[in-house]
Amino acid sequence: MNESPCYTLSEATEEYLAMRGVDKLKYFSRYLVCAKNAYKEVFKTVLWTTKNVWQPLRKGDPYNYIDVPIDLQRLFSINEQDDCGNIIPLYYNNKLNVIKKPTKKACGCDACDCGGLCEDLGALTMTTKLVFTINGIDYYEKIWYKYCPNGDILEYIELPTKKYNDTRGQSGDYFDDYNNDYSIGNPGTANFDIVTVTSQRKICALTTLPCGCPEDTEENIELAQQVCGCAWPFGVRRRKHCDRVLGNINGNCRGEVKFSDCSTKIYYKPFPHVNRGHGTHTCLTT
């Protein structure tokens, strides 16, 4: 499937000359004209036809799939039959993720599938906020979260802080006049060091499974969204909108398909809430 399904006229002519043992292509243009005329004569009586075959839907991961026929040269469409007996084309979605997830889980649990909320809590990222800038160096506050097996979510904060070594302090602007409001010497002579203060606090507790993973309930999801939703990467959780409004054109909403990387399978992902009484075979037009 990675190669072109057809030959150009020049490629066919080169192959013909190679079979005849002609290695000098001095008169190649003449042979090319002969090939063009032969092509026209051959295809005067050739009818362009297609073939439809039914393929069984097999159990697979991450989606069920159908096997690609061995004699497949070119695929035109993949269809399924609705409850009224009509052939409905399925949409080929090139963005469909058909790569298997790694078997090793981030949380290290072997008692459950660790999907949903457990997987999302493992994807929490650290957030930063600019606190101040001194001598061209930016100092950031760092905040990250950690889920504990007892259901607690802990918040850790690293905050850069000025530690003054004496009581002189430093001048500052406390009004909107853009001038120092009091002077205790030359500006910028405050004697301080930048130290990082680390703090920790418990922000919430989730209900857990016996293995320690969080339960994937609406209450847990809503609570986690409120306390640490800003630390989830874009598109991870929870109030995301999968492209049903601005996505690819797929008006019948029957499902979508995509070739596997090895081009021997065609994965099939049905849309939810669609009634399929049969759901065991899919028709290919080749």
For residues 91 and 143, membership in a common domain is answered with no
Answer yes or no: is 4 within a domain.
no
Lookup result for tokens 């070119």: 74
What pLDDT does residue 160 have? 92
Do 225 and 257 lie in one domain? The reply is no
Same domain for 257 and 213? no
Is 36 a member of any domain? yes
Q: Is residue 24 part of a domain?
A: yes
What pLDDT does 277 receive?
46
Query: pLDDT tens digits for the chain (286 residues)?
Result: 445 556 788 888 888 888 888 888 888 888 889 988 888 887 777 767 778 888 898 998 888 999 998 878 788 888 888 888 888 888 888 888 888 766 666 666 766 767 677 877 877 788 888 988 887 788 999 998 888 888 888 999 999 998 888 776 666 555 566 555 555 545 555 678 889 999 999 988 888 888 888 888 888 888 888 887 777 665 455 455 455 544 555 556 778 889 888 888 999 988 765 555 445 666 665 5
- 183 and 201 fall within a common domain: yes
The pLDDT, as a whole number, for residue 60 is 87
Residue 91 forms part of a structural domain: yes
Q: Are residues 74 and 161 in the same domain?
A: no
Residues 6+ apart with CB under 8 A from 114: 105, 106, 107, 213
- Please report the pLDDT score of residue 278 as a whole number: 47
Q: Does residue 208 share a domain with residue 261?
A: no
Question: Angle between the 9-19 and 28-42 helix axes, to the nearest 10 degrees?
Answer: 110
Buried/exposed 187-206: b ≥16 CB within 10 Å, e otherwise: eeebeeeeeeeeeeeeebeb
DSSP string covering the chain, please? --S-SS--HHHHHHHHHHHTT----TTHHHHHHHHHHHHHHHTTSPPP---EEEEE-B--SSSEEEEPPTT-----EEEEE-TTS-EEEPEE-TT---PPPPSS-TT---SS---THHHHHTT---EEEEEEEETTEEEEEEEEEEE-TTSEEEEEEEEEEEEESSS-------STTSS-S--SSSTT---EEEEEEEEEEEEEE--B-TTSPBP--HHHHHHHHHHHGGGSPTTSSSS---SSSSS---TT-SEEEEE-TTSSEEEEEEPTT---S--SEEEEE-
Residue 16 within any structural domain of the chain: yes
pLDDT at position 245 is 47
Q: Is residue 2 part of a domain?
A: no
Q: Are residues 197 and 150 in the same domain?
A: yes
Contact 123, 232 (CB under 8 A): yes
Distance CA 241, CA 83 (A): 29
Query: How many domains does the chain divide into?
Result: 3
For residue 236, being part of any structural domain is answered with no
Assess whether 170 and 202 both reside in one domain: yes
Does 200 lie in the same domain as 262?
A: no
Tell me, yes or no, whether 135 and 174 share the same domain: yes
> Is the domain of 176 the same as that of 271?
no
For residues 36 and 81, state if they share a domain: no
Any domain includes 206: yes
* Distance separating alpha carbons of residues 151 and 89, to the nearest angstrom: 46
What domain range includes position 137? 117-231
